[in-house]
Amino acid sequence: MAKKSIDAVDVANQAVLMRVDFNVPLDENQQITDDRRIRMALPSIRSVLDRGGKLILISHLGRPKGEGNDSKYSLAPVAERLGELLDQKVQFASDTVGDDARAKVAALNSGEVVVLENLRFHKGEQAGDAEFAAELASMADVYCNDAFGTCHRKDASMVAVPEAMQGKPKVVGHLVAKEIEYLSDVMASPERPFVAIVGGAKVSDKIKVIHNLLEICDKVLIGGAMAYTFSLARGGKVGKSLVEPDKTELAAELIAQAGDKLELPIDTHCGDDFSPNCNKQVVAAGEIPEGWEGLDIGPETAKRYAAIIRDAKTVVWNGPMGVFEMPPFDEGTKTVARAIADGNSTSIIGGGDSAAAIEQLGFADAVSHVSTGGGASLAMLEGQRFAAVDLLDEA
């Protein structure tokens, strides 16, 4: 299901409306604290500018409340940083479909770029409003989606805008193309054994993911606090671990669905307090004493999981094995990350905490793909289809 790339469109003198994910973290002084999302969009941006296109960049930033501009969420600092990264002037329009945007778009020359203000300052964006979308669409000759982090949403800029551009090219940028290649194409025809590793705090967030992965994987390894809800479902003792007692029935259903595909921890690294200085002990899974909580998979589990991972040809990982932010409870996550890095599988790391963990532990370069979208990669692992991608032109 390869989609047509921005590289395959003749953009010379054409106005290209590119939806990017410039949802970067800002501090209280509106300074960007991590510009990775801007840097990730550079290949698509350069592809248009280097070939003489006129580039209109649109994005959301944060969750502004209600209608109207809130300077806390302005994209102005992003436009400035983009100018530094490109080493060229980047225009900024103080609205999206108003007079300033129209004037700046009309004045664009070949090879120039304008960033429009935060899409979410207009209530039409999250409402998926067709009128708002038609106004945005009317500014451009080509539409490009390079906002993977938002691909699971149906916001106007993701769906109604390309719908309003019938007859004009509607294509993917480099970032979305890469995400689709890994998360969708590899998952559709994985080399086997295909092993999934699912961890994190809550089983409720990942029930659909586990359910889908059990259908398509050879093994699903469970870690993180969610393991204790599974343990509870099997009658285990979980002490004061983080659990979701109302989800034990669902956990039991997953255990029943899984047969021998599901691997649950066999031991647990516990603490008597949620702190790095707590007293610590390793116990058998399901044997966590009163007053203690599970904070990581135990060493035997980590060894077992690492062996399964090393034999895999395809690995998908979402969610840490323990409280990886608090050593020594990062050991399980580290062992899993190292096994992925040491193996020669095609390895896909879901966004959010697992991406942060693999970066923090220094293994990001040793895996095939670290997804840029937390919610979007989770939705893909659930097997969801994205309207925002489906409606783009085929290659």
Of 51 and 269, the one with the shorter C-beta distance to ligand AMP is 269
Q: At what angle do helices 207-216 and 248-258 cross, to 10 degrees?
A: 0
Rounded to a whole number of angstroms, the minimum distance from the CB of residue 56 to ligand AMP is: 34
Angle, vertex CA 296, rays to CA 294 and CA 300, nearest 5: 110
Nearer to ligand AMP, 86 or 266 (CB): 266
Active site residue 153: no
User: Measured from the CB of residue 35, what is the shortest distance to ligand AMP in angstroms?
Assistant: 23
Catalytic residue among 52, 83, 98, 375: 375
The residue nearest ligand AMP at its CB is 200
Instruction: Provide the minimum distance between the beta carbon of 278 and ligand AMP in the complex, in angstroms, as a whole number.
Output: 12
User: Nearer to ligand AMP by C-beta: 79 or 323?
Assistant: 323
Nearest to 373 by CA among 86, 146, 58: 146
Q: Out of 202, 261, 303, 313, pick the active-site residue.
A: 202
In angstroms, give the least distance from the CB of 276 to ligand AMP. 12
From the list 286, 294, 352, 373, the catalytic residue is: 352
- Please state the closest distance from residue 41 (CB atom) to ligand AMP, in A: 25
Q: With respect to ligand AMP, which residue has the nearer C-beta, 294 or 373?
A: 294
- Active-site residue flag, 352: yes
Minimum CB distance to ligand AMP, residue 48 (Å): 35
Catalytic annotation present for 235: no
Strands 267-271 and 280-284: antiparallel
Nearer to ligand AMP, 148 or 228 (CB): 228
Residue 247: closest CA among 210, 285, 291, 290: 210
Residues that bind ligand AMP (CB under 6 A): 200-202, 205, 224-225, 242, 294-295, 319-320, 322-323, 325, 352-353
Among residues 108, 76, 106, 107, the alpha carbon closest in space to that of 92 is found at 76
Q: Residues 37, 153, 170, 219: which is the catalytic one?
A: 37
Nearer to ligand AMP, 200 or 298 (CB): 200
Question: Quick one: 80 or 325, whose CB is closer to ligand AMP?
Answer: 325
Give the nearest distance from C-beta 314 to ligand AMP in angstroms. Answer: 21
Which residues are the active-site residues? Answer: 37, 202, 352, 375
